[in-house]
Amino acid sequence: MYFVCIILTKMYVMKKLALLRNTKFTVGLSVIAALGMFVFINSCRKSTRHTTPVSAPANSEAKNAASAVTQNQSQTHLVTIANIRKSGDGSKNEVMFNELAELFTVPDATVLSALQNAFSNNTPVNVTVDPWQATVSRVSTASQQDVSTVRSARQASNTQGIAYQVLANTDPNVINALGVLNTTTTTGTGLTSVIPDMATAQLMFDYITHQCCAIPGPYTIDYCIPFQYCEDGCYARAHKMCWILNTKYNYATHKVFSFANAGSDELCVKGEKWGGCCVNWWYHVAPLVNIKTPQGTKAYVFDPAMFDQPILLATWLHAQENPACDPSGDNPHVSMINIQPTASYSPSGSSGYSFDTDPTYSSTDATLTSYRPLLTCP
């Protein structure tokens, strides 16, 4: 069990030990390059659903930092609908929102009908959700001003990305090799393409981790990053982390988006760092970097919401297929990944091929601020 807020020196030692253990990692997930280069950029949203009862955070400091939040309170969001589908066993209606990464269920027939109508007409709506139970309880029509806000905020980009189907039983080394950033895509940016060693990468990871909102400030960036709230916000966390890596450390980044968008696939993750409850997403995103290792350059992911160190791409994907967080019988499986330029913010639709951007960081900063007091397992 990991802890959120610990003394810096102790955290440093633990991470070094973890790095040694990481050399023994093996994973049973794989990726086969199935699709070519794609030209879309979007925003990233993240979805999570608790499939086990929530429990108290593992660390008292994290709990105290979020003491102002009312536990299990509902939230209202202005959203567009990416897809509506049946669960694997056909017993539930599930909805994917472009602006949220969590995979929600819709138990009320009237609410479902309103969502289906909005989906058919590609109309933004206001939804009231319980993120800890992953349910939608209310839908209301968005104002014309809200509709204009949503459409003006979606700034699509024409930068290329690379999509892969994710299949079982492929050598993890294949996945890690596929994820290595093509250095030609960063030519002319003035950013260094490859981090020289794991020690350097760990120092940057530690700095980013200590911007966590669950750790008392002062912070050395303008908005703390709510790593302690995994239900949603991966898109904002990833955008802010890339900004730090690009502007403070001058290293190139991409983003890796994982999707559960085929059949009844779900991304199932156990929040070991934040109390041990389960979260379920229809997509997730984090910064992807190149790190030079004794075995060659490999693709690593920065995701302090899930890990205490940079993690191999294959290991990051495998952690999203936890069968312990899938009691409903849906399929814990990464359907596909899409490696996108840093500018891509969140998906635009459930296909996994189109993305929106947030060049002014307005959506990023608003999300970081909104999620600052929240916890994954309140």
Q: Burial level of 238, CB count in 10 A (0-12/13-18/19+)?
A: buried
Q: Contact 4/63 with Cβ under 8 angstroms?
A: no
Which two three-digit tokens encode residue 207?
């700095």
The predicted model gives 322-343 an average pLDDT of 87
Point out which residues pair with 301 in neighbouring strands: 288, 311
For 155-192, the pLDDT digits (tens) are 555 456 777 776 666 788 888 887 786 654 444 478 99
What span, in angstroms and rounded, lies between the C-alpha atoms of 163 and 13?
A: 37
At residue 304, does pLDDT exceed 70? yes
Name the 3-class secondary structure at 278.
strand
pLDDT for the residue numbered 320: 95
Which two three-digit tokens encode residue 324?
């312990």
What's the pLDDT band for 7 if we cut at 50, 70, 90?
very low
Which two three-digit tokens encode residue 201?
């990468």
DSSP string of 126-171? EEEEETTTTEEEEEEEPPHHHHHHHHHH-EEB---EEEEEEEET--
Q: What angle do CA 304, 250, 223 make, to 5 degrees?
A: 45
User: What residues have CB less than 8 Å from 67, skipping those under 6 apart?
Assistant: none
What span, in angstroms and rounded, lies between the C-alpha atoms of 234 and 347?
A: 12
* Nearest Cα to Cα of residue 336 among 259, 255, 234, 235: 259
**Considering the entire predicted model, what is its pTM?**
0.79
For 232-251, the pLDDT digits (tens) are 999 999 999 999 999 999 99
For 140-150, the pLDDT digits (tens) are 988 877 777 66
Place of tokens 């108290």: 56
At residue 305, does pLDDT exceed 60? yes
Q: Contact 242/142 with Cβ under 8 angstroms?
A: no
For 47-101, the pLDDT digits (tens) are 333 333 322 333 333 333 343 444 557 889 999 999 999 988 888 999 999 999 9
pLDDT for the residue numbered 318: 93
